[in-house]
Amino acid sequence: MSKDKSGWNKYRRGPVNRDKTISAVRIDSLSSNGDGVGRLDGQVVFVPFTLPGEKISLKQVSKKRKLIHAQIEEILEPSDQRQQPPCAVFGDCGGCDWQHLPYDLQLTAKTQQLQDALQRIGKFENPPIEPIVASPSAFHYRNRIRGHVESGQFHFNQRASAQKVAIDQCHIADEAINTYLSEGNLEGVKGKVELAVDDEGLVRVMAVDEQQSTDAGFRQVNTAVSNLLSEKINSAAEHFTGETLIDLYCGQGTWSIELAQRFTQCQLLGVDSSKQNIHIANQKVQQAKLSNVRFEQGRVEERLRSMPLADSFCIVDPPRAGLAPELCQALCGNNPTTLVYISCHAASLARDLQLLCDSGMRLQSVTPLDMFPQTAHLETLSILKRK
């Protein structure tokens, strides 16, 4: 399953009512979606591109019950931490949330949001959160971007609109992609495409199909942070002495194959719903000449009965919705020795961790990793041990 977590065009909320001006609002905090949050007459107000402490004059975009979504009309009292975004289309393009925030403030906000979710939703009084792992590069970290090509010009989706924003560079894309865009290589290309940097550093142009997939399948967009994540997974397996390794929602099997090469006495099972991902994973197995790995295509929830979860070292990397109820129940009933839970959504993670810990597992650590600088998205690595 494709899990592009970059945040492109997430602010589509229907037609904008630009005629209603709201009284000035003080921004108190940042939401998990990246918006500034304030309060007005008992109502919660969400305002993109704001900072805590700022006083803003607003125009209402939409209102539902006691929630108001608004836009900046004027910054009456700017924060002294506000910075000039380097991108000329920031705020118009739907890609980035936080180019106006210094990077250290982005890291602090993400850690706080993770802690809030674990305490409020997961009911962990003192969640064992490790220091956040920063991206080595706050810009130019994405090894792939997606958009539309029209008349040889690359476009992103416009925020809060079905319109497109033409770009000739992207400040969070790899420099190889920006060089490719500047050289006018898209003549004759049309439709939705992905530009991706391959292992040789060359840029590939791939069509995106109706399932939001490409010939290359799913890969993490930040290579440097993905490598750091892989190191932490390997570290979590350091004292494992069992016989079974399981990787659910395994993608192209990168983590699985590393573990299989290390634990040659173990049998490894990887499952993913994407035919393309499993094909690539099996190609990697053949290249590595491994005999202790088996990758299967299918929905994880449909293959639970045949999975030897008990006493295993198990990795789960589900979509934003988190673990399916039947998978969570299977993990609760067949506790692995170690469970590594990789998540891209703090709320669903907190919910699932509470269920797993209530069933007999112990939460050892939660490590936030900033896979997506300049956006509000956060990757986390949680390690649970059987009590």
Does 90 fall in a domain?
no
**HSE, side-chain direction, 13 A CA sphere, residue 343:** 25
Model confidence pLDDT, tens digit, residues 159-209: 877 789 999 999 999 999 999 999 989 988 999 999 999 989 999 999 998
Residues 6 or more apart whose Cβ sits within 8 Å of residue 164 = 148, 150, 155, 156, 157, 158
Mean pLDDT of 284-307: 92
Does 82 fall in a domain?
no
Q: Within this chain, do residues 177 and 262 fall inside the same structural domain, yes or no?
A: no
Distance CA 222, CA 150 (A): 27
Q: Within this chain, do residues 195 and 227 fall inside the same structural domain, yes or no?
A: no
Q: Report the CATH number at residue 46.
A: 2.40.50.140
Q: Within this chain, do residues 249 and 299 fall inside the same structural domain, yes or no?
A: yes
**pLDDT at site 12:** 38
Mean pLDDT of 140-156: 95
**HSE, side-chain direction, 13 A CA sphere, residue 199:** 2
Token pair 């850690």 in the structure block, residue: 111
Q: Within this chain, do residues 304 and 345 fall inside the same structural domain, yes or no?
A: yes
Task: Domain of residue 52: give its range.
Answer: 21-77
Distance CA 276, CA 255 (A): 17
- Judge residue 356's burial from the number of C-beta atoms within 10 Å of its C-beta, 0-12 exposed, 13-18 middle, 19 or more buried: buried
Count CB-CB contacts under 10 A for residue 104. 11
Mean pLDDT of 14-38: 77
Q: Within this chain, do residues 190 and 66 fall inside the same structural domain, yes or no?
A: no
Helices 223-236 and 254-262 pack at an angle, to 10 degrees, of: 40
Q: Is the pLDDT of residue 155 over 70?
A: yes
**pLDDT at site 66:** 82
Q: Within this chain, do residues 276 and 357 fall inside the same structural domain, yes or no?
A: yes
**pLDDT at site 19:** 47
Does 88 fall in a domain?
no
Q: Report the CATH number at residue 298.
A: 3.40.50.150
Does 252 fall in a domain?
yes
Does 258 fall in a domain?
yes
Distance CA 195, CA 174 (A): 10
Mean pLDDT of 75-91: 95
Does 89 fall in a domain?
no
Domain boundary among 31, 62, 77: 77
Does 131 fall in a domain?
yes
Model confidence pLDDT, tens digit, residues 323-365: 998 999 999 888 899 999 999 999 999 999 999 999 889 999 9
Q: Within this chain, do residues 339 and 227 fall inside the same structural domain, yes or no?
A: yes
Does 276 fall in a domain?
yes
8 A C-beta contact, residue 69 and residue 18 = no
**pLDDT at site 3:** 42
User: Residue 271: which H helix or E strand, with range?
Assistant: strand 267-272
Domain boundary among 56, 77, 98: 77
Distance CA 301, CA 321 (A): 14
CA distances from 325 to 117, 124, 313, 352 (A): 19, 20, 20, 9
As a whole number of Å, the end-to-end CA separation of the chain is 32
Model confidence pLDDT, tens digit, residues 240-276: 999 999 999 999 999 989 999 999 999 999 999 999 8
Name the range with the highest mean pLDDT among 12-16, 119-123, 210-214: 119-123
**pLDDT at site 29:** 94
Q: Within this chain, do residues 128 and 30 fall inside the same structural domain, yes or no?
A: no
**pLDDT at site 248:** 96
**pLDDT at site 20:** 59
Q: Within this chain, do residues 66 and 168 fall inside the same structural domain, yes or no?
A: no
Distance CA 95, CA 213 (A): 19
Q: Within this chain, do residues 230 and 113 fall inside the same structural domain, yes or no?
A: yes
Query: Shortest CA distance to 258 belongs to which of 347, 340, 379?
Result: 340
Q: Within this chain, do residues 236 and 369 fall inside the same structural domain, yes or no?
A: yes
Q: Within this chain, do residues 180 and 308 fall inside the same structural domain, yes or no?
A: no
- Judge residue 200's burial from the number of C-beta atoms within 10 Å of its C-beta, 0-12 exposed, 13-18 middle, 19 or more buried: exposed
Distance CA 59, CA 62 (A): 9
- Could you give the number of structural domains in the chain? 3
